[in-house]
Structures are given as C-alpha cells and as structure tokens.
A and B are shown apart, each in its own frame.
Chain A
Amino acid sequence: MSVQVPASISAETVEEISAQRDEPDWLLEHRLTALSALDGLDLPDVIQTPGRRWTNLEALDFEQLVDPLNQSDETERVDAEGASVLSFVEALDTHEELVREHFGSIVDPEENYLTALSAALFTTGTVIYVPEGVDAEDITIRAEMNSRSLFSQTLVITEKSSSATILESIETGTAVTDDRFFSNIVEVVAGENSYVQFGSLQNLDEETYHVTLKRAVTDTYATANWIEGNIGSRLTRSDVETKLNGDGSETKIVGAFFGHNDQHLDVNARVWHRAEHTTADLVTRGVLDDVARSVYEGVQDVGEGAWNTSSYQRENTLMLSDESEADASPKLIIKNHDTEASHSATVGQVDQEDLLYMMSRAIDFQTARNMLVEGFFVPVFEEIDVDAFREDLSDLVIARLN
C-alpha cells in the first residue's frame, strides 16, 4: 500500500539539500525524480500469513520521523593505499563521472518508498573506488548519527582483479530525544574477477528505526561477500542481496543478530543466480532475549539460464527467553534443474546437555550460558576478514550477555 508523502518534504526541501552541497544538476534531477515518484510507491514487501503480518512497516510515522533539513552525522573514514575512500561530496568533486555512471544503477530509487525517500533526501554516504589490480585492505567507515533522521547512500566500485575489505560501523552519537530514523543504502559494483567483503555493524540506540538495503551485482568470476551485524535499533528492516550476473561468480551473505528488550529485527538475505557456475552461501545466526522478535526471509532464486548452480542457506535462531518470538521463511525458487540447492532453518534453546556438562565442571549457569551463546556465533565470526570488525562484534555480543 502506498504511503503518504510527509508534509515536511517538497521540491524546495530537496533543492535546498542539493544546493547546500553544491551538487551538479544531474544529481538534483535524480533527487527530484525520486521525490516525484514517492507518491505512487509502496513500502517493501513483508511476509503475511493467516492472522499475522510479520513486520508492520506501515506503523512508521514518516511525518514525525523525517526531518530532512537537519540531518547530521560524524563519519571517520580510513582508506587503504591505492584506493579512494571518499565522502559523497568529495567524490562528486574528484570522480563525478564514475559516480554518475554507477549511482542508482544497482538499487533503483523507484524500487520502493524507502529507496525513493533515501535518493531524494540523503546527505551522507561514502564512495569507495578500487582501481584495477589494487588490493585495498581494512577500509573502515565509522559513522555516528546525530540527528532525528539520517539518510546515507554508499557506493562501492571494484575494478577488474581488485579486492577490498570494508568495515562500516554505525552508532548513535549525540542523543536526540524522541524516535529516530536511519536509512542506509549500499550499492556494490563488483567488477570482473574482483573480491569485495562488505561488513556492516549496526549498534544504534533503541529509539532508532533502522532500514537498510545492501545489494551487490557481480561480474564474471567476481566475489561479493556480505557480513551484516544487527545489535542495536528499536526496529530493523535489513535486506542484504546479491545478483550473480557473471559466470562463475560467488557470494556469501553472513548475518548475525542479537535482539533484547522489545527490539524487532526483520532480517532478509536474497540471492539471484543469473549466470552459469555460480555459488551462493547464506548463513544467518541470531539470538533473542526478553520480548525481542525476529523475522527472517532467505531467498535463493535460480534462473532458467543458471546452469551448474550451487546454492546453500542455513538459518539458526537461539531463544534465550520464553517471551521472545522468531519467524523464519527460507525460500527456494528453482527454474534450472542443473542445480544443487539446499536450505535449512532451526529454532531452539541453548542445549540443555551442554549446559549440564559445563555446570558439572563447576562453571556457573550464567557463565556457561554466555559461553554457549558466544560459541553459537563462532561460525559467523569465522567469516569476517577484518580483525577489528570481528572484535567489535564479539565485544557487542559479550556486552549484551552481561
């Protein structure tokens, strides 16, 4: 269903944002087109089963949440030799043509209401460009959100045979009263035979509504790996996706979440196999405590031309509290028979026998349980290339357990 355009947004608002940043005309045009499309667009799909709507995005009050002219953030970027890691504004100065070519090519602003809203109003974001043959390690982006609403657009371009490992972390800086809204859109253009790992760690405070759409498109032999950690926010809607468009390309989508209090985490991982000999591995692990709720959808879509596909998906949820709820739907859509695909999903508690064993070795209940929860996340930790990221995620998990 389409959503009302907040009264606080008009063409003047968008023009003002664009003018403040001294943007080229084409970008203003891009913003205005997105704005005018807003009216007819729907919120992203959520799963509905008899008597249950898994996530209620309609309840978001954009009128109240969106304050377009007062967006503020503090972002630190650490670059790597040979690669450009720039704020969006800087990138327009030095790499305008590149940005113009790729921006919006992976995530169409008119895909849904949220993507259009972001394209019209974004004020922050990063452009990462890795030229041919360059290996860029440990690129980090640490962002703090300091306003009621913030829209961020990030673009990653890896040229032929290059590689990049990127860590993005998002936190709340100066606290603003009332509910907040953070939107994060990431586009990855993975060139031929390139390798990208994009890790994102979200630990916003629990008055922030967080929506994110991260999508990569792979060229021949390219690899796009995602790591998506969601610890904070009041409500998260996260879509992490890869389109395997090049023959022999690969993706891994690794997700971790840990919800407590009344957090609602709607986490989605999707892969489209659209070329031959492609491989996908989707691994998500989540823990729920208190009255937190998780929603998971995983989609493996194998197209007609996707010969010799391998596609795997696993999702495991651990429930620490009896009041928590977990919904899961791992989907397979297969149109090519030359496919090896599997998926699995489980929901359960901390293993009672493991717990008993540890307690019989004189470890108290709390410590034993915490060790098991940490251990539960190990398969996710192991996937992370950036050491700092692994430590950060592990610290957040431990902090939440205590």
Chain B
Amino acid sequence: MSSEEHLKQTDTEARFEFKKEEASAFKTEKGLTEETVRVISDDKDEPEWMLQRRLRALKHFQNMPMPTDWPEIPDLSEVDVAEIVPYIRPDIDVRGGVDDWTDLPEDIKDTFDKLGIPEAEKNALSGVGAQYESEIVYQNMQEQWEEKGVIFCDMDKAVRDHEEIVKEYFMTKCVPPSDNKFAALHGAIWSGGSFVYVPEDTTVEMPIQAYFRMNSEGMGQFEHTLIIAEKGSEVHYIEGCSAPKYSAFNLHSGGVEVFVKENAHVQYSTVQNWSKSTYNLNTKRAIVEKNGRMEWISGSMGSKATMLYPASILKGRGASDNHITIAFAGEGQNIDTGAKVYHNAPETKSTIESKSISKDGGRTNYRGLVHIADGAYDSSTAVECDALMFDNESISDTMPYMEINESRVDVAHEATVGKIGDEDIFYLQSRGLDDDDAKQMIVSGFIEPLTEELPIEYAVELNRLVELEMEGSLG
C-alpha cells in the first residue's frame, strides 16, 4: 500500500485526535521543584554533571520573569508550570527504545501505526525515532548508516554512551538555559529527544525522522534534539508532532541545537500538528561555520499558541541560511512564528520566506529579526512574508526587525497581505470546481514553496492537514 493510499484510507480526524489510556511506569507529581528535577535525573540514572546543569537551569527559570513586554504577544497567562506533569515514563521494558515495532505495547504500537510512522520508515527514511510521552520508545536506523559511523539515538542514551560529546555541546554554546524562560524550563526537565551525529564527509541520503506524541492530559513534553554535522557532511532531519485535545492545557517546550560545521549542510523540517490545547514554546537554534548551510523548514498547523523563531547564527565566512515557514491559524489559534538570523561573518547569506494563513478568528504573526554585525561585509538577506486572510474575524500581523551595522550589504524585506482573490475563485468555478475545492486549490498553491522542500510523503501529509483545517469551514 502506498502511503498516499494509506492516508486516504485513514480518517484524518481519527489519525490525530484519538486518545489512549494513560499507562505509565513512572510519573512525577504535578509542578516543578528541585525535588522534581532530582527525581527525573535519578529515574534516568544520569551522571552528576547533568543533574547540576538541570539544577542551574531551574534557578534561571525561577529567576526569569514571564515574557510580557513584546508587542502583541500571545496570551500565556494560562501557562502555569505548577499545573503540568513534567515527566511520564511510558510502561515499556527497554529504555532508549526498541528497534522492532512489534516489541511495543499494543496501544503504543497502534498509536504510531495510525500516525503512519512504520509505513513511512519502510518507504522514505534512513532512520526513525518515536517518542511517547517523555521517552523515546522506538529507535532504529538502517545498518548502512551505522557502519559509516552515523549516530542516531535517543538523547538519554547519548548522555550515557557519548558522554564527552554531549557534555561539550549540550546547552552550552548554542542555546544556554539563560536564553529565555522556556529554554531554562527545558534545561531543567528535558527528557527524550534525538541525538544525531554525522561524521566528516558523510551524506545521509534519506531523511531521518523523529515523531513526538503526547498522549496524556495536562502533561508537558520537553524533548531535546542535538544535531552535530561534521565537516562536509549532509543530513535531513524531520520532526513531526501531535497530541489529542484535552480541556486542560498541554505544554511543549522543546530545545533544538544544531551544529553545522565547515561545508556541512543540515535541513531541519518540522510539521507541527499539536492539538489546540497545546502551548508550543520552543527554542531552536543552529550555529553555522564556514560555508556551511542551514535550512529550517517549518509548518505550524496545530497548537493553541505557538511562539517559535528558529535561529541561525552565521558564524563562518560564506555560511548561509534558508528559512521557509508556513503558519496556519484556525479558530482559537495564535501562531506567532518567524525567524532569527545573525550575520556574524563576511559573505554570509540568508533568505527567509514566510507564508501565513489565518481564518475563523485565528491569528498569525511573522516576528523576525535579522542582525548584520559590523564586519559582516558582502552579506545579503532577503525576507519575504505573504499572508492570506479568509475572513474578518482573523488577524494577520507582520513584525520584522532589521539591525544593520555594516554598510557593504544588501538587505531587503517585503511583505504583502491580501484576501483570497475573488477573481481566482470565480475562474476556478467557471472550470467546474466548487467553492471549497477552489479555495483549497488556491491555498495549496500558496504553500507550495514549503511542500516542494519536503519528501513527497510529507508533502502529501501536509496537504492533507491543510485540507482537514479547511474542511467545511469556508464561507
């Protein structure tokens, strides 16, 4: 069965909105104290230095105020860390994930089957990691990559097996816990996530994927992703996420650190489909060395509120960055997303392409910062934001910030906002399409720059998500 057929056969609602009984082997109390942090660290049997880092991060979290002074900031007043369960270890025998889907408990296996992960693994991926609640439950990579020295494992295992590397890179150089309140929270209670290490001059031809599923009500997921791409290497990492909807809020606060060494190329793609009761407050950042290339491809479809600004620090001469972001906000959603690029070396280049769609009272905002440091001569940046609005209850904002400290540069920002064109719809209808199909086709065309960057399975998936968002809701 092709994955497209598979998608057709599976009812989309049922694919994301189903719930499973909570079955945990270990679960912390609600809230966050030093004790919670110690308990998590102890349950993971971590080395002392990691516990110390967690405790330091906790101090930062406790001392930092909630961000409130940003213009038009999404409402985070509901986000009370005392109300969430930060850590749930699912009931599985093998820590660090099994490498055969059939070894998983039936309900967890069923979850990922419904999400289509094993199917995708067979067809299009070099490796898969799957996280359920706070821990990775499945982890596998094709042997040919293992033989070449590529490491793809869950983050907890990396702390044990690759301690020296993790100790050097984990929340030290890229995203320190002091960066922002939710990075600090993440540093204190992170659990799960992926560790990817690609040796020099190795190209991982097919993407590797991690899928994050939150099942329980009122929990928080705090996975940490660390990617190190050595000189001349190349890798494409895909991240997917979803959760069923509950009346209580869920919190997702992931941390992503990417190290792109000389001449390396990393593509990081995210299709985020959190439930509309989830707050998605992430910190993602890459440090790019000489002639390295970083690509951030993000589709933000889900969540109640998202605040996500993937950042690239272009540190080496000739480093480049490419952002493609799509935000789709429906009823009750506030998707505040964008990009951040620091040009800290000469001849660096960035392009940011943002597309946003708001409908049924949803709000999208592009919030982005481009900084060109003094001495980063011959750098260029181009930012393009396009927004599409469906109706008059929706809001579309654009807030770019540009800080230019160097004269030999080329900086351009452009943005447009418009409604869906009546003429375009009329034309399509005259060709026999009904109103809904016409609008859907226009939206699919609008987000094409994103879908064409993804492997076909994901492009199809994304289009299905957009269809799902638009079904029956068009006036």
Contacts and interface: CB of A to CB of B under 8 A. Distances in A.
Interface stretch (B52-60, B96-104, B388-396): B388-396
A49 B392 contact: no
Contacts of B398: 330-332, 343
A334 B416 contact: no
Contact of B407 (A322, A333, A340): A322
Contact of B419 (A320, A335, A338, A342): A338
Nearest to B70: A48
Nearest to A325: B405
Nearest to B408: A349
Interface in A338-382: 338-349
Interface string A317-332: 1011111111111111
B392 A336 contact: yes
Given A337-B394, A347-B409, A49 B401 contact: yes
Interface in B212-257: none
A23 interface: no
B412 A346 contact: yes
B404 A347 contact: yes
A19 interface: no
Contact of B390 (A47, A48, A331, A337): A337
Contacts of B412: 344-346
B400 interface: yes
Nearest to A332: B398
A327 B394 contact: no
| Interface SS of chain B | strand
B159 interface: no
A329 B413 CA distance: 10
Interface string A192-232: 00000000000000000000000000000000000000000
Given A333-B72, A335-B395, A321 B411 contact: no
Given A331-B398, A341-B416, A346 B411 contact: yes
A34 B44 CA distance: 62
Contact of A329 (B395, B399, B419): B399
A223 to B, nearest CB: 23
Contacts of B390: 337
Nearest to A307: B392
Contacts of A340: 417-418
A22 interface: no
B333 to A, nearest CB: 16
Given A336-B392, A337-B394, A327 B417 contact: no
A343 B402 contact: no
Nearest to B377: A322
B416 A331 contact: no
Contacts of B391: 337
Contacts of B69: 48
Interface in A298-326: 304, 317, 319-326
A344 B413 contact: yes
B406 to A, nearest CB: 7
Contacts of A328: 401-402, 404, 413
B403 interface: yes
A331 B407 contact: no
Nearest to A54: B403
B168 to A, nearest CB: 25
B415 A344 contact: yes
A334 B418 CA distance: 10
Contact of B392 (A337, A343, A344, A348): A337
B402 A334 contact: no
Size class of the contact patch on chain B: 35 or more
B442 interface: no
A347 B395 contact: no
Contacts of B389: 334, 337, 339
Contacts of A323: 374
A347 B407 CA distance: 8
Contacts of A334: 387, 389, 395-397, 417
B401 A343 contact: no
A150 to B, nearest CB: 32
B410 interface: yes
Interface in B250-283: none
Interface in A125-169: none
Nearest to A302: B417
A336 B409 CA distance: 36
B415 A343 contact: yes
A319 B372 CA distance: 13
B307 to A, nearest CB: 14
A333 B72 CA distance: 9
Nearest to A320: B407
Interface string B409-437: 11111111111000000000000000000
A45 to B, nearest CB: 8
A327 B401 contact: yes
B369 interface: yes
Contacts of A324: 407
Contact of A344 (B377, B414, B418): B414
B399 A331 contact: yes
Given A334-B396, A342-B414, A342-B417, A319 B402 contact: no
Contacts of A335: 392, 394-395
Given A330-B400, A331-B397, A339 B408 contact: no
Contacts of A338: 392, 419
19 contacts: A49-B401, A49-B403, A319-B404, A322-B408, A325-B374, A327-B401, A328-B413, A329-B399, A330-B413, A331-B71, A332-B398, A341-B417, A342-B415, A342-B417, A345-B412, A346-B411, A347-B411, A348-B411, A349-B409
8 closest A-B pairs by beta carbon, nearest first, are A337-B389, A319-B407, A347-B411, A332-B398, A337-B419, A341-B417, A344-B414, A345-B413
Given A49-B371, A344-B414, 15 more contacts: A319-B404, A320-B407, A322-B407, A325-B404, A326-B402, A328-B402, A330-B398, A331-B397, A332-B397, A340-B417, A344-B412, A345-B402, A346-B413, A347-B404, A349-B407
